[in-house]
A and B are shown apart, each in its own frame.
Chain A
Amino acid sequence: MGREFLEGNEAIARGAMKARCDFFAGYPITPASSILHYMLELVPAIGGTAIQAEDEIASIGFCIGAAMAGRKAMTATSGPGISLYSENIGLAQIGETPLVIVNVQRQGPATGSATKGAEGDIQFTRWVTSGGLPVIALSPATVGEAYELTYRAFNLAEQYRSPVFVLTSKEIGVTRESVDLDAIELPPLVERKRVGDDEEYLPHRFDRPADVPAMSDFGGAHIARYTTSTHDQAAYLTAKPAVIQEMIDHYTAKIDAVADDIALVKRDFQESAETLIISYGITSRSAAVAVREARARGARVSSLVLQTLWPVPQRAILAALDGIRRVIVPEMNMGQYRLEIERLAPTGVAVIGVNKMNTTLISPAEIQRTGGLL
């Protein structure tokens, strides 16, 4: 296609289509609504269904039903809608449903500043539903990455039979940028493992905890079962503590075990730097400018940008912390991911937050000032 002038939300729709998404349900909300509009244009053209549901609960409910019938499903909303998805996200976790959930974050809580940006849903995404099972969340910083990470989110959803979040924000979603999507390198498309028609089928079969069970679509060759209740590998209700723990260990292991393999980070390290900026999302772009400006003044500073936020790319963060004495963590919230860095940073390493939630971007100057780079 070549160079285009696109907003992040359109790039998300295009990334979803590149991943052959054929089911979308959503409910309008600024700044995510245009994803619904784009999907209504794109999905029916490949024979799929895109629909505006009566609310967010129905949106994700439609998606879960469709995903279990074999569709590649996505829904998109902003913080208020994620609150309404919450219970169903837990269902998708224990039902092991492949599903992409886009959160175009806006300033909150509650209705907040509907048309303004923030990245305040970082820990909310991690602990989005009861039970505390691990989640996968990717965070783009540019329109191009919105495309790429949405595509990758489908791959992860299919591969790990899990809901996967694309955690973007107003600042990427409705900002237009010059971009060439075709120039972005993508991994091969991943489709869910399916049980052969003649093979025996258990809805949640695994031998080792981290195995991902092969699926059989509702309406296919096997009789399929799915349940929101605590169940065994056959999706039958169980009250046996040993079996219940085995299932919980399975949901946990299949994501935690691959945390480092699915970690997407961008490194810009400088020899013998003792200061490291760890950033993600739109703020990582201010961090890039801050790094350039500081280096131009002779400072030595490294940068680690996280594209995978959950599970925490622990190995990559620990490696980046090697030799570092000060970590600067700028975030458009009051210090949510900083908690993870503080947890990982060796004693003696100062962790400095640069935090703001007033709807304006954190500037390169603010990062340098609060981070002590000036």
Chain B
Amino acid sequence: MSTTGAPATPCASYMTDKLGPLPFCPGCGHHVVAKALDQALVKLQLDPHKVVIVTDIGCIGLSDRYFTTNAFHGLHGRAVTYACGLKLARPELTVIALMGDGGCGIGGTHVLNVARRNIGITLIVANNFNYGMTGGQHSVTTPSAGITSTTPWGNVEGPMDLCGTTIAAGAAWVARCTMFDKDLADVMAQALAQPGFALLDVWELCTAYYAPRNRMKKKELDDLLASDGLRLGVLADTPRPEYSARYRAAYETGRAASKRRPAIEVQHGNSVPRQTGIIIAGSAGQKIRSTAALFAQAGMFSGLEATQKDDYPITVMTGHSLAELIFSRQRIDYTAIEAPDYLLVISEDGLISSHDRLQRLPDTCTVYAEQSLDLPVTKARVVRCPIAQAAAQAGRRSVAVIAVAAMLQDTGLFPLDAFARAISTFQEANIAEANLKALKAGAALVSDRLSAD
């Protein structure tokens, strides 16, 4: 329950008789559940504007319109989801989901998850052991050997204990009643008053189907409880903070200081003549993607437009990692690279993933390759550099920076200063420091010992 005020004048009832009597079959337990809910609301004197009754599909779902509170009638099995949405949006509301045992089957995952999350709604299950609305088929709570239209020889499936299941899922408050319990409305009021999630499982009779087919009346209902060794009353009462409160608190303490990314102003020139495609092929863990992004942003510092696409296996820490970059002085429309102008092959994984491409490359392409790699025959110009050796000194996580720096130094597409600017602008100080050193080492590879085949 929430802290909202009571209605201005005391409410004698939260139901209307304008729509005539409740639509259920004579003797149906749903009458009892609906009236108990009315009595529970009267007892709590909640403002009807601040109460939402969310009903599921099923006979029980016909009841919301008889209440003078807000009413939300949703899809079969999903009442809990709308209830959670309403509660998350407005934690001050008292949100009650009213659902059948059928809804608990098709929407079982929502029941488990709301219990686990402890979102402060109340779930009342009108549990009549079958699907009343669709003609008495068996449900997840149909007792063993129970006769239904879909278990004509007796149910061979075991019933689910809703209370036990939600307790196992972490429900803060759980109770079981039958429609014959004198204190049903009181227990319901207790459920509504819980700040966290509460489940009330009400065992009752479907007088059209389950009860007559299985000769079930009050005594047989009690016997069923006894034979299953199940208890009535409050079965779990372990309050813990409601979801929204925890969410807020966790956010306040855990949120990262807002990382403002500075805008990229043009600071350098470039000599990129036309749309230029560059592929960086390496291994997972070599910072291929983040280095490519820095490279792209360096291009933007140099007055270029840029795009970047990545390719890597679903398991991120192993195998190849590929980044495709396009630079252009104009808007970039087509973002696929059919034949790259430059291909950087940094590791064995990178080589494997670009092996076929290497064989197809035209002579307009330049390949910068780690010198130890055994490249296939290609028409492209190949520049071998001791990238791995430099990385052994400068740091293995900077290997991609080394390769890009060597390539930039060799091509002069735009100044190395622009790459340095991107590194110091977008990386944390200690990482930037290492990468700036790597950048120098990469550039030196070209001026010192570059060898073109």
CA–CA, A1 and B263, complex, Å: 6
B452 at the interface (CB under 8 A from A): no
**With A223-B68, A288-B333 as given contacts, are A62 and B81 in contact (CB-CB < 8 Å)?**
yes
Interface of A is mostly: mixed
B75 at the interface (CB under 8 A from A): yes
Q: What 0/1 readout, one digit per residue, does chain A (163-202) give for beta carbons within 8 Å of chain B?
A: 0000000010011111010000000000000000000000
Q: Which residues of B contact A68 (CB under 8 A)?
A: 72, 82, 85-86
Q: What 0/1 readout, one digit per residue, does chain B (81-105) give for beta carbons within 8 Å of chain A?
A: 1111111111011000000000000
User: Which residue among B52, B72, B306 has the maximum number of chain A CB atoms within 10 Å of its CB?
Assistant: B72
B431 at the interface (CB under 8 A from A): no
What residue in chain A is nearest B252 (Cβ atoms)?
A44
**With A2-B265, A3-B263, A62-B81 as given contacts, are A44 and B255 in contact (CB-CB < 8 Å)?**
yes
**With A5-B300, A58-B81, A71-B89 as given contacts, are A177 and B75 in contact (CB-CB < 8 Å)?**
no
A249 at the interface (CB under 8 A from B): no
What residue in chain A is nearest B56 (Cβ atoms)?
A228
B176 at the interface (CB under 8 A from A): no
CA–CA, A67 and B305, complex, Å: 39
> Is B110 a contact of A360 with CB atoms below 8 Å?
no
**With A66-B85, A361-B334 as given contacts, are A44 and B251 in contact (CB-CB < 8 Å)?**
yes
> Is A4 a contact of B70 with CB atoms below 8 Å?
no
**With A5-B296, A45-B255 as given contacts, are A285 and B334 in contact (CB-CB < 8 Å)?**
yes
CA–CA, A66 and B305, complex, Å: 40
Instruction: Spot the interface stretch: A49-57, A100-108, A147-155, A252-260.
Output: A49-57
Q: Which residues of A contact B409 (CB under 8 A)?
A: none
B347 to chain A, nearest CB (A): 21
What residue in chain B is nearest A43 (Cβ atoms)?
B251
What residue in chain B is nearest A1 (Cβ atoms)?
B263
**With A5-B296, A114-B314, A220-B49 as given contacts, are A226 and B71 in contact (CB-CB < 8 Å)?**
yes
B48 at the interface (CB under 8 A from A): yes
> Is B88 a contact of A218 with CB atoms below 8 Å?
no
For A61, give its contact among B48, B74, B90 (CB under 8 Å): B74
Q: Which residues of B contact A336 (CB under 8 A)?
A: none
> Is B310 a contact of A65 with CB atoms below 8 Å?
no
B338 at the interface (CB under 8 A from A): yes
Q: Which residues of A contact B372 (CB under 8 A)?
A: none
For A65, give its contact among B83, B112, B248 (CB under 8 Å): B83
> Is A66 a contact of B334 with CB atoms below 8 Å?
no
Q: Which residues of A contact B332 (CB under 8 A)?
A: 177
**With A54-B109, A361-B334 as given contacts, are A177 and B86 in contact (CB-CB < 8 Å)?**
no
Interface bin, chain B: 35 or more
User: Which residue among A5, A114, A223, A289 has the maximum number of chain B CB atoms within 10 Å of its CB?
Assistant: A5
> Is A58 a contact of B335 with CB atoms below 8 Å?
no
- Residues facing B in A212-227 (CB within 8 A) are 217-227
CA–CA, A91 and B81, complex, Å: 13
CA–CA, A171 and B89, complex, Å: 33
CA–CA, A218 and B82, complex, Å: 12
CA–CA, A67 and B297, complex, Å: 38
A42 to chain B, nearest CB (A): 10
B129 to chain A, nearest CB (A): 25
What residue in chain A is nearest B336 (Cβ atoms)?
A361
CA–CA, A218 and B332, complex, Å: 47
> Is B90 a contact of A218 with CB atoms below 8 Å?
yes
A125 at the interface (CB under 8 A from B): no
CA–CA, A225 and B310, complex, Å: 48
For B70, give its contact among A218, A285, A289 (CB under 8 Å): A218
A160 at the interface (CB under 8 A from B): no
B78 at the interface (CB under 8 A from A): yes
A88 at the interface (CB under 8 A from B): yes
A308 to chain B, nearest CB (A): 21
CA–CA, A85 and B74, complex, Å: 14
Q: Which residues of B contact A220 (CB under 8 A)?
A: 49
What residue in chain A is nearest B306 (Cβ atoms)?
A178
B113 at the interface (CB under 8 A from A): yes
> Is A363 a contact of B109 with CB atoms below 8 Å?
no
**With A62-B84, A223-B69 as given contacts, are A4 and B52 in contact (CB-CB < 8 Å)?**
no
> Is B335 a contact of A363 with CB atoms below 8 Å?
no
Q: Which residues of A contact B274 (CB under 8 A)?
A: none
**With A218-B52, A228-B57 as given contacts, are A91 and B113 in contact (CB-CB < 8 Å)?**
no
B247 at the interface (CB under 8 A from A): yes
CA–CA, A222 and B71, complex, Å: 11
B13 to chain A, nearest CB (A): 14
B residues within 8 Å of A by Cβ?
A: 48-50, 52, 54, 57, 65, 68-75, 78, 80-90, 92-93, 109-110, 112-113, 244, 247-248, 251, 255-256, 258, 261, 263-265, 293, 296-297, 300, 304-311, 314, 332-336, 338
A/B interface sample: 24 pairs, CB < 8 A: A2-B263, A3-B265, A4-B263, A5-B293, A5-B297, A25-B85, A57-B110, A58-B78, A65-B85, A91-B74, A115-B311, A174-B309, A176-B307, A176-B308, A180-B263, A217-B90, A219-B70, A221-B49, A223-B48, A224-B70, A225-B71, A228-B73, A228-B75, A360-B336
Contacts A51-B247, A69-B85, A226-B74 aside, 19 further interface pairs with beta carbons under 8 A come to: A5-B264, A23-B88, A25-B85, A58-B78, A58-B81, A62-B82, A62-B85, A65-B82, A65-B83, A65-B85, A73-B85, A91-B75, A175-B309, A176-B296, A219-B92, A224-B71, A226-B71, A228-B57, A286-B333
**Complex A-B, nearest 4 residue pairs according to Cβ-Cβ distance, in ascending order:** A65-B85, A2-B263, A61-B81, A69-B89
